[in-house]
Amino acid sequence: MAFTKAIRKQRIRMWNEDPRCYWCGALTVLVEKNGGPPVLPNEATIDHIRPRHHPGRQEPPTEGERRRVLSCWKCNNETLSTFR
């Protein structure tokens, strides 16, 4: 439960800084709910810059490097054939 609250706080903070999707620039919507999958294609989610199977995912970040960004649900869930 604490992990979920931390993620929710991070998403709200990121959305307040800039509500646009990092990948496509679309304006995202912040939806507060108790669990369940996103229902809107522009719902704000947190996306990792390096995908799960990226070879450098476990390396420590360089100074100023962002590892997580605000993304619309659509961009966050697209299947990519190559790493971003």
In a domain, 84, yes or no: no
More confident site: 26 or 5: 26
- Residue 18's CB: how many other CB atoms inside 10 A? 11
Q: pTM of the full predicted structure?
A: 0.75
Report the pLDDT value the prediction gives residue 79, as an integer from 0 to 100.
58
Give a yes or no: residue 6 inside a domain.
yes
Domain housing 70 = 2-52+64-76
- The verdict on residue 29 lying in a domain is yes
**Cβ neighbours around 71 below 10 Å, total:** 25
Using 50, 70 and 90 to split pLDDT, how confident is the model at 51? Answer: confident
**How far from 65 is each of 21, 37, 61, CA to CA, in Å?**
18, 29, 6
**Tell me, what's the pLDDT at 31?**
86
For residue 59, being part of any structural domain is answered with: no
**pLDDT bucket at 48, cuts 50 / 70 / 90:** confident
* Overall domain count for the chain: 1
- Residue 55, Ramachandran bin (φ over 0: left; ψ between -120 and 50: alpha; else beta): alpha
The verdict on residue 12 lying in a domain is yes
Tell me: pLDDT of 69 over 50.
yes
In a domain, 19, yes or no: yes
pLDDT of 61: 79
User: 7: part of which helix (H) or strand (E)?
Assistant: helix 2-17
Q: Is the pLDDT of residue 63 over 80?
A: yes
